[in-house]
Amino acid sequence: MKIPELRIADLVAKIPVIQGGMAVRISMAPLAAAVAEEGGIGIIAGSGLPVEEFVAEIREARHRTKGIIGVNIMFAVREFAQLVHAAFNEKIDLLISGAGFSRDMFTWGKEKGIPVVPIVSSAKLAKLSEKLGAAAVVVEGAEAGGHLGTLRSIHDILPEVIAAVSIPVIGAGGFVNGEDVAKTLKLGADGVQMGTRFALSEECSAAPAWKEAMLKATKEDVLLIHSPVGMPARGIKNPFTKLLEEKADVKPKKCLGCLKQCAGNFCIISRLVKAQQGDIREGLIFSGANVHKIKEILSVHEIFEELKNGILSFKEEEC
């Protein structure tokens, strides 16, 4: 099959792949720029970053590429509005947002002429998003890493959303190779968002120990936890998640005030930061359900070569 372009508003990505926006400091300028250079859509994750650092990352990515650079900001973070406006002031190419739903962001995007793409997990929310002015929707299923809006499989949700809206639909959750992308496009999706595969890239900003823990993870190592955000989240078993299972007291001694609403069972930002910096015992490692299928750390260029070869060699009868 020919590799189709992904069109979102006036943006045209030559390869229909969006790199997932993984917080905290996983999806930064080096990764986003490398993906954009390959013809995909590179995403910087703003959640958990100070505004000044976030702006610096956007500018660094712009310095590295003329490709498409977007941002992903969780609605759940307290500084959501400040981060969105900072990104818009930097004339970012598009905004992706999940972990909650903001009506205001569509108004802000329209005022600035910047496409807004919400992450949804149902046809109902996709239709509302289209009505409010979404340029596209990312449909995320239970196979995705990080915070989840549903426990239904992407394979069940995706056809429902495609049938419900006329804007571009991007599938997300558990996709790690070119065959996954080809199958999803055959189902009618306009593109695919991939996080975990790009997390295990040379350009990803996580510590080597974080990446090694991901590489060693088996299918049985992937589990669901209850996030302070108020949503289930998918990650990898480690001593910290064992404490959560045992209902140990891991409440933070000091609150950073990073979320609008917090269950208080642990500090999500500090635990993600610990992991990103290499503390794989005390930190929290988010991962998609199919991390066990990834066998090596590759450059973004090598990942895209595999994706393109996988799409082009996919046989229609296999779908």
Residues in the chain: 319
User: Cβ neighbours of residue 130 under 8 Å, at least 6 residues apart?
Assistant: 137, 165, 166, 167
Residue 11 sits at φ, ψ, to 5 deg, of: -85, 140
The two structure tokens encoding residue 74: 């969780």
pLDDT of residue 1: 63
**Distance of alpha carbon 213 from alpha carbon 90, whole angstroms:** 35
Domain definitions of the chain by residue range:
6-205+295-318, 208-291
**Distance of alpha carbon 92 from alpha carbon 70, whole angstroms:** 6
Radius of gyration of the chain (CA): 18
pLDDT of residue 319: 43
On the 0-12 / 13-18 / 19+ scale of CB atoms within 10 A, 121 is buried
Residue 103 sits at φ, ψ, to 5 deg, of: -80, -30
**Distance of alpha carbon 170 from alpha carbon 5, whole angstroms:** 12
Per-residue pLDDT 10s for the chain (319 aa) are 689 999 999 999 999 999 999 999 999 999 999 999 999 999 999 999 999 999 999 999 999 999 999 999 999 999 999 999 999 999 999 999 999 999 999 999 999 999 999 999 999 999 999 999 999 999 999 999 999 999 999 999 999 999 999 999 999 999 999 999 999 999 999 999 999 999 999 999 999 999 999 999 999 999 999 999 999 999 999 999 999 999 999 999 888 889 999 999 999 999 999 999 999 999 999 999 999 999 999 999 999 999 999 999 885 545 4
pLDDT of residue 2: 83
CA nearest neighbour of 291 among 193, 214, 192: 214
Matching CATH number, 6-205+295-318, of 3.40.50.970, 3.20.20.70, 3.30.70.1280, 3.40.50.2300: 3.20.20.70
